[in-house]
Amino acid sequence: MKIAKTRMLAFAAATALFGIGHAFADELSIMASGGAWQDAQRKAWFEPFSKETGAKILEQEYLGDLGKVKAMVDTGNVPIDLVTVETATVLQGCDAGILERLDYSKIGPRDKFIEGSALDCGVGLDAYGDILAYDPTVLKEAPTSVLDLFDTKKFPGKRAMRKFPAQNLEWALMADGVAPADVYKVLATPEGVDRAFKKLDTIKKDIVWWDAGAQPAQLLASKEVVMTTAWNGRIQNAIDTDKKPFKIVWNNQILEYDMIAIPKGAKNPELAYKYLAYISKPENNAKLASYITYGPVRTDAASFVAADALPKLPNAPDHLAGAYLVADTEFWGDYGEDLVKRFNAWLAQ
């Protein structure tokens, strides 16, 4: 009897220890959206952070949808500590109460981030450009602006665009003569939305739609389309590693930020903050650019960017010389759901 009791106590102690040990283990679970971008983060941040702090990083992949995270938070079982997301998704997740509101005193001075890249529930990782890419071996005459998408006379053939209203509506308005600075003012009115869709109507039958970031390069490579909108790093990756002859058009690009956030109920928030502080240091923030052509979001990081990486970044001085637009996250937070519905209705017609 006594033996049994002792054993039970030992068993209980062991399980308690195991439980505690598990909860405080130096393990950081990060959910990122895979591909060349996750590889770059591994080299620039995951591995050096592990080496410096001794924390183990568990990588998980997903497609950028918050549905899975919401299900985790709703059921109170959150096996991830950090999740990489788009800016609009940060606002959405903040509103829905599934992302933690961040304490910037644990991360770094908020005013040292480029405007719009340090939000209540998400902190910027990098800046990327929505650009136009084409294959010069197929297209004899080179497009000079993203807005050449809308010129089917000069550039006949199919073009690929992201199956999402954001960026496409902005470009449509710019192609219709709206100055970049006025785009969101016009788009907030019903007439402006009509105007953008009317412009998109003119090329609707020539468009192939893509969803995933890897698709534009595939569509260009299989010659399914003559030009495509894309995220600049994916195209650069195809040029550098797959030796594709593609070219990028920077003029009229739209700049956006990738973000990282802590889901509510994450098991290891302290370590998550430690990681956020680590990657937000200017010298570390600049490191990602050496592995994928996405620029830093810290204003004081530019001097740390490797010299050979700089000319390929979307926020390199040369690429901001022409017309460009910084995506307005607040606008898409407010009107996103409605415009997505209108866009889907338009697609179906």
- Contact footprint for other proteins (CB under 8 A): 63, 65-68, 70, 92, 94-97, 163, 188, 194, 197, 207-209, 211, 222-224, 330, 333-335, 337-338, 340-342, 344-349
Whether residue 114 contacts residue 87, with contact meaning beta carbons closer than 8 Å, is answered with no
Three-state DSSP at 310 gives: helix
Three-state DSSP at 308 gives: coil
Q: How far is the CB of 210 from other proteins (least distance, A)?
A: 10
Q: How far is the CB of 27 from other proteins (least distance, A)?
A: 27
Q: How far is the CB of 205 from other proteins (least distance, A)?
A: 10
Which ranges of the chain does DSSP label H, i.e. alpha helix? 2-24, 35-41, 47-53, 67-75, 87-95, 168-175, 183-187, 190-201, 215-221, 232-240, 269-280, 282-285, 329-348
- Measured CA to CA, the distance from residue 274 to residue 242 in angstroms comes to 36
Select 62 or 278, whichever has its Cβ closest to other proteins. Answer: 62
Select 197 or 324, whichever has its Cβ closest to other proteins. Answer: 197
Q: How far is the CB of 333 from other proteins (least distance, A)?
A: 6
Select 3 or 348, whichever has its Cβ closest to other proteins. Answer: 348
DSSP string, 106-151: GT--GGGBPTTSB-SS-EEEEEEEEEEEE-TTT-SSPP-SGGGGG-
| Dihedral sign computed on CA atoms, order 165, 166, 167, 173 | positive
Select 241 or 349, whichever has its Cβ closest to other proteins. Answer: 349
| Dihedral sign computed on CA atoms, order 118, 145, 208, 221 | negative
Q: How far is the CB of 111 from other proteins (least distance, A)?
A: 19
Three-state DSSP at 249 gives: strand
Phi-psi region of 116 (alpha: psi -120 to 50; beta: other; left: phi over 0): left
Q: How far is the CB of 191 from other proteins (least distance, A)?
A: 13
Q: How far is the CB of 188 from other proteins (least distance, A)?
A: 8
> How many degrees, rounded to 5, is the angle at CA 333 between CA 249 and CA 250?
5
Q: How far is the CB of 68 from other proteins (least distance, A)?
A: 7
Select 222 or 303, whichever has its Cβ closest to other proteins. Answer: 222
**β-strand pairing of 159-162 with 227-231:** parallel
Residue in 32, 36, 86 with CA at minimum distance from that of residue 62: 32
